[in-house]
Structures are given as C-alpha cells and as structure tokens.
Structure 1
Amino acid sequence: MDPLHRWWLRRRHGDGPWAGLLQRPPDDEWVSLDLETTGLDHARDHILSLAAVPVRDGRVWLSERFERRIRPDRDFDIESIRHHRITPGEAGTGMSVTPAVRELLQWLGSRRLLGYHLRFDLAMLAPHVRALTGFPLPNPRVELADAFATRALRAHPGAPADLAFRTIADALGVPVLARHSALGDATTVALCWLALRGGRAPSLHGSRPPPR
C-alpha cells in the first residue's frame, strides 16, 4: 500500500477500533503468515487453518505464535485432504472464520507481513478483513520467493531461479517443518527469511517446532 493511501486511511480510521493496523510498523520485526485452504481458488475456496509467528532479534518467536483452526462453510474433497491432511471431522471442530480473522488482526497490529505465495493468502483473507475493518489490510509485506529470486539473480545473473518452497529452504540450509501445515510453513518461511538476511544462524524461541 502506497504512503498516500495509508495517510488517507489514518485520516479516516485513525480513531476507530482498527487504528492499530494503521500505525507505523515496528522496526526490524515481521510476522510470517500461512493459511491452509480447501483449494486454490480464492473466490470459491475456504480457509481451514491459519498460523502466524513473529520474527525479530534474529529469532522466530514460537512462544508468541497465533494459530487457529477454521470451520469451513462447505465440504471439501479427498484431494484437499491429501494436501493439508485436515479431515472434515477435524475442520468441524474449528471456529468460524470471522472471529478468527478478528483475533488475528488484533494480534497482528501494524507489523510487516512475510510469506511464501503471500498474495494468495492475503486474497483469501481480504473479504473478511474488509468486512471487519472497512478497508484493505494495510500492512507492508515481503514475499519470500521474490526476495530469494533477487539474491539468486545477484549470484547468477541471467540464470532463472528455482523458486520451489523446498528448493529455497534447502539453498538456505533451513529444514522444512511440517510441510502443508499452517504453523509448519509459517515457521519455515520465517527461518528462511532470517537465513536470507544473512544474520546469525536462525533460531527458534519458545515451544518446540513442528516435526519434519
């Protein structure tokens, strides 16, 4: 979102219940976000789970993670189950999407977002965010694949980069944790981001990471 649009939103909503989304993002802090969904059509499919983990001070703060299982509004097929390993029975124990997104936004605040194929996740969230707040999610965001491609281009000009999730993680020396679970993918992306930034070895703080 460009600065002028953010300024306009602050003018209009800066005293409202969602003013926290419109503040200046804290320095050197990101939130790695991932969703699991019933499919890949953001206009038709539904969110099954969402997870987010803070990244700051060279660490992934699992102890401060946000994680919710969502009850979808329609059934999903076996191909969906094979991908995210969430059964209809498990999905049925989740909460409805609106209160889950409300809690996410309250937890998120103005922090920068980080993800892999983040545009799709944000498209899935967009109608729920707008229904709650009256405006699009204003948070700055970083796409891991784009950041990795930029580094790869500097290292090998003219050579196309392989931007597959596991390829990126392997190239950065990061284990892929519980692939196709929201928390596992969010944690892996966070560790990749720290490795890509070239600081000290990425580390986890708090609860044990999801199994590989």
Structure 2
Amino acid sequence: MKIFKWFRKGPELRAKDALRLGALAAPVVSELPLHKQRFVVVDLETSGLNTLKDKILSIGAVTIEDSAIALGHQFSCTLRRQNLTVSESVLIHQIPPSEVAAGIRPEKALLSFMEYVGSSPLLAFHASFDQRMLVREMEDAFAYQLRHPFYDVAEIAPLLYPEHNMRNPGLDDWVDFFGLQVLQRHNASADAMVTAELMLILLKRAEQQGIEDLATLDISLQNWRRRQQSGL
C-alpha cells in the first residue's frame, strides 16, 4: 500500500524576502538572570479581535535590557492593508484608513519586526492574543512557525503583587495601581512603552522574591495558574 504525505505549499516569496526569512534568528533558551535578560515588549493594533481572520494593522515594540528600556531602539510600523473596513477597533486605535493604505508591505513589516526581535522572548499584556495573531500572520505570509516564547504581563503582575485586590485588572488598572504617568494610550507604540514601564517594576519585584531567571519565572507562573484554577 502506498502512503501519500500531503504538504502545505508555502506562499510564493520575493527573493529578498526569502533571504531575510532564512536568516531569522531562532529563539534561544536563556539562562541569564532576569535583570540581564533582553525582552521585546510588543503591542499590536488589529482590524478586530478574531485571531482567525482579522489583520495586524500596526506593530509597536520596545526593548528591555539590563533592566532598562532602550529608548533609542524602538520599533514602530503600520502595515498596508487594502480595502480596510473601518471597524470599532480601528476607530479606537485612531488609525485612519489613509495611513493603513499607505503603510509598509505586510511581508516586509513582519520580517523587519522579527529581525528586531532576534532570539529574544516576547512580552505583552494579554499576550495570548498578540501571540495568536503573529503566529497566524507569519504562517500565512511565509509558512513560518513562530516558536518564540511569549510572557503575559497580565499574569506576571498579579503573580508578584497578589495584594492588588482588583478584579480582572487591565493595563490601565495597573497603571493606576503603580501611579505611572501615561501621556498616551491606545496605539501600538504607546501601549508597548506603558507595558515596558510596568515590566520594569515587576522585574525589580521578581528579584526581591527570588525569581532569578526565566526558568524560575516559568515555574512560578505555572504554580500561580494552578492556584487560580483551584480558586486558592
């Protein structure tokens, strides 16, 4: 009996895109202490909340390294999308259709972002949404499997500050909790910066609690999730 293997045919790539894709760094399992770890904090603005069909409209990202935000090395771009429907999500993020129509070619934008990420883990607030969007967009554009780990600041914050007494706190709630000064919100670059500022506070708290590296953070988060599920 013959066994046939079916393979999904990848998209046709421009030669330059294929070269850049092949040169992307794979994620590295780091044993660095947290205060030395490089993180990429990312925020996405999208055409909606359906991770199966909506599109990334803009990407904002900043780098944390040596427990500091690299202010001179940020990433920001708007992706070109044709025939964009002006949804409630687009209106909230204040991205005019003209800006989206004049944006960067999506494949180029995604490759540039992944080059910025390098081998580093990613951070986001409610990271599962950003992760699912990026995984699907990279798969659709390049048949590329995104394997970089994502850490959810919305989980790390209550893990380290269980005394917060807030019910399902959002990013604005944590901003108020720590008294952070925020000049702008609801665009990708601004939200990534706010998330990074919050993470700096959390990194200091993690060090005080003996969470020294990513492996220890992973274990702490797993234990925290179990407690949440059991209602403790």
* TM-score normalized by the length of structure 1: 0.76
Please report how far the alpha carbon of residue 138 of structure 1 lies from its aligned counterpart in structure 2 after TM superposition. 1.7
What are the residue-to-residue correspondences of 1:3-82 with 2, within 5 Å? Answer: 17-18=22-23, 20-25=25-30, 27=32, 28-77=37-86, 79-82=88-91
Q: Distance in 2 between matches of 1:46 and 1:83?
A: 15
| 2:107 pairs with one of 94, 98, 121 | 98
3-state SS in 2 of match to 1:62: coil
Does structure 2 retain, via aligned residues, the 8 Å contact 1:51–1:68? yes
Please tell me whether residue 148 in structure 1 is matched to residue 154 in structure 2. no
3-state SS in 2 of match to 1:55: strand
| 1:169 pairs with one of 167, 170, 175 | 175
Deviations 1:102-152 (CA, angstroms, capped at 9, x unpaired)? 111122111010101111112111123235664422222210110112123
| 2:132 pairs with one of 101, 108, 123 | 123
Q: Which residue of 1 aligns with 2:210?
A: none
Distance 1:91 1:150, change over 3 A: same
Distance 1:132 1:92, change over 3 A: closer
Please report how far the alpha carbon of residue 165 of structure 1 lies from its aligned counterpart in structure 2 after TM superposition. 1.2
Output the amino acid matched with 1:141: F
Output the amino acid matched with 1:21: A
* Greater C-alpha radius of gyration: 2
Please report how far the alpha carbon of residue 198 of structure 1 lies from its aligned counterpart in structure 2 after TM superposition. 2.3
Query: Aligned pair count?
Result: 181
| 2:198 pairs with one of 161, 179, 192 | 192
3-state SS in 2 of match to 1:68: strand
Output the amino acid matched with 1:58: S
3-state SS in 1 of match to 2:123: strand
Question: Gaps spanning 5+ residues in structure 2: where?
Answer: 1-20, 206-232
Please report how far the alpha carbon of residue 43 of structure 1 lies from its aligned counterpart in structure 2 after TM superposition. 1.5
* TM-score normalized by the length of structure 2: 0.70
| 2:96 pairs with one of 87, 90, 95 | 87
Percent of residue pairs bearing the same amino acid type: 28
Greater fraction of residues in strand: 1
Structure 1 residue ranges, 4+ long, deviating more than 4 angstroms after superposition:
131-135
Q: Distance in 2 between matches of 1:82 and 1:19?
A: 34
3-state SS in 2 of match to 1:32: strand
Please report how far the alpha carbon of residue 19 of structure 1 lies from its aligned counterpart in structure 2 after TM superposition. 5.6
Please report how far the alpha carbon of residue 42 of structure 1 lies from its aligned counterpart in structure 2 after TM superposition. 1.4
Q: Distance in 1 between matches of 2:183 and 2:44?
A: 15
Deviations 1:37-77 (CA, angstroms, capped at 9, x unpaired)? 11111122111110111001221112111111111243222
Aligned-pair Cα RMSD in Å: 2.3
Question: Gaps spanning 5+ residues in structure 1: where?
Answer: 1-15, 200-212
